[in-house]
Structure 1
Amino acid sequence: MPSPRPFAQVDVFSREPYRGNPVAVVLEAEGLDDEQMLRIAQWTNLSETTFLLSPTTADADYRLRIFTQAGEIPFAGHPTLGSARAWLDHGGEPRNAGTIVQECGAGLVELRHDDSLLSFAAPPTTRTGPIEDDHLASIVSALGIEAHQVIDHHWVDNGPGWAAVRLSTSAEVLALDPDFSRLPGAMVGVVGAHPSGAAHDFEIRAFAPGANVAEDPVTGSLNASVAQWLTGTGQAPHRYTVAQGTRLGRAGEIVVTVEDGRVWIGGEALALVRGTVLA
Structure 2
Amino acid sequence: MALTIDLVDVFVDEAGAHGNPLGIAWASPSTRGRERDIVADVGFSETVFIDSVSGRDARARIFGRAGELPFSGHPLVGLAAWLLGSGDDIRSIAVPAGDVRVRADGDLVFVRALPEWAPEFQLEQLDSVEAVEGVDPDAYGRGLHYVWAWIDEGGGRVRARMFAPGLGIREDEATGSAAIRLSAQLARDLDIRQGAGSMLRTHSRYLGQQIEVGGRTSPARTFELG
TM bucket normalised to smaller: 0.7 to 0.9
Q: Which has the larger radius of gyration?
A: 1
Q: Does the alignment pair 1:251 with 2:197?
A: yes
Within-5 A mapping of 1:35-184: 35-54=33-52, 61-94=57-90, 100-125=91-116, 158-159=118-119, 161-180=120-139, 184=141
How many Å separate the matches in 1 of 2:176 and 2:41? 23
In structure 1, distance between residues paired with 2:169 and 2:199 = 20
Q: Which has the higher strand share?
A: 2
TM-score by length of 2: 0.87
- Aligned residue identity for 1:274: T
C-alpha distance 63-32 of structure 1, shift in aligned 2 (>3 A): farther
For residues 64-114 of structure 1, what are the alpha-carbon distances to aligned partners after superposition, in whole Å with 9 as ceiling and x for unaligned? 1111123111111111111112222233223xxxxx211112111112112
Contact 1:120 1:266 in 2 (8 A): yes
Give the SS at the match of 2:111: strand
CA distance in 1, matches of 2:220, 2:60: 20
Q: In structure 1, list runs of 5 or more residues that go unmatched.
A: 95-99, 127-157, 232-237
CA contact (8 A) 2:183 2:189 kept: no
CA gap of 1:209–1:34, structure 2 versus 1, over 3 A, is farther
Q: Percent identity?
A: 28
* Structure 1 ranges of 4+ moved more than 6 A: none
Deviations 1:118-158 (A, max 9, x none): 111132326xxxxxxxxxxxxxxxxxxxxxxxxxxxxxxx2
Partner of 2:144: 187
TM-score (norm 1): 0.72
Q: Which amino acid aligns with 2:160?
A: I
RMSD of aligned residue pairs (Cα, Å): 2.5
Q: Secondary structure of 2:15's partner?
A: coil
Q: For residue 259 of structure 1, what is the amino acid of its counterpart? A: R
- Inter-CA distance 216–230: structure 2 relative to 1 (3 Å threshold): same
Q: Is the 8 A contact 1:195 1:201 kept in 2?
A: yes
Structure 2: segments with no counterpart, 5+ residues: none
Partners of 1:222 and 1:197 lie apart in 2 by 21
Q: Would you say the 8 A contact 1:122–1:225 is kept in 2? A: no
